Homo-oligomer: A and B are copies of this chain.
């Protein structure tokens, strides 16, 4: 099994997503096994939903590495959770890279399956954002992404860039890069400037 640079980014993103699940599970006093499951669901839930929608085997069933990375994240959390707040900017970076990569993978896989660009855009968003929704359902909280931050919307913007680049006739790897960079940029700007969407009721 040869590992490419993109694989490494994927693994870093998986790790960051798993940490986010494990951290929230630990706040709910879940046991080790529960925390592992929530970590796994956060890291692989979005991609699994995408694969189920596309009618293919969930990606984590074909490579054991995702289970192992989640296990690694759990071990890391158990021994270093006091240390985690100090490296929160590194984890945020991993998380953002993960989000951008998940959006790219979701978009590409959907196009390869023969669907339209708009479906690919939705699937990119599902891949990036649904893991967090499943995490919040499992810990019995109102999903965070529905109330705060530009998160899923960064994926949607990246998907639009991907589609535009494809329509301009750019080579595939450039379209993917443009999409990833857009997601990262929007996400960073949103967090830095505290961008928020309006809520429906303000009274």
Contacts and interface: CB of A to CB of B under 8 A. Distances in A.
Total copies of the chain: 3
Contacts of A35: 146, 200
Contact of A25 (B28, B146, B198): B146
B25 A200 contact: yes
Given A133-B138, A137-B137, A200 B146 contact: no
A34 B146 CA distance: 4
Binding site secondary structure of chain A: helix
Contacts of A52: 52-53
Interface in A21-65: 22, 25-35, 37-38, 48, 52-58, 61, 64
Interface of A: 22, 25-35, 37-38, 48, 52-58, 61, 64, 67, 77-78, 81, 115-116, 118-119, 122, 133, 137-143, 145-148, 152-153, 196-201
22 contacts: A26-B199, A26-B200, A27-B201, A28-B147, A29-B147, A30-B147, A30-B199, A32-B199, A33-B197, A34-B143, A34-B145, A52-B53, A53-B57, A53-B61, A55-B57, A61-B115, A77-B200, A81-B200, A138-B143, A139-B142, A140-B142, A140-B143
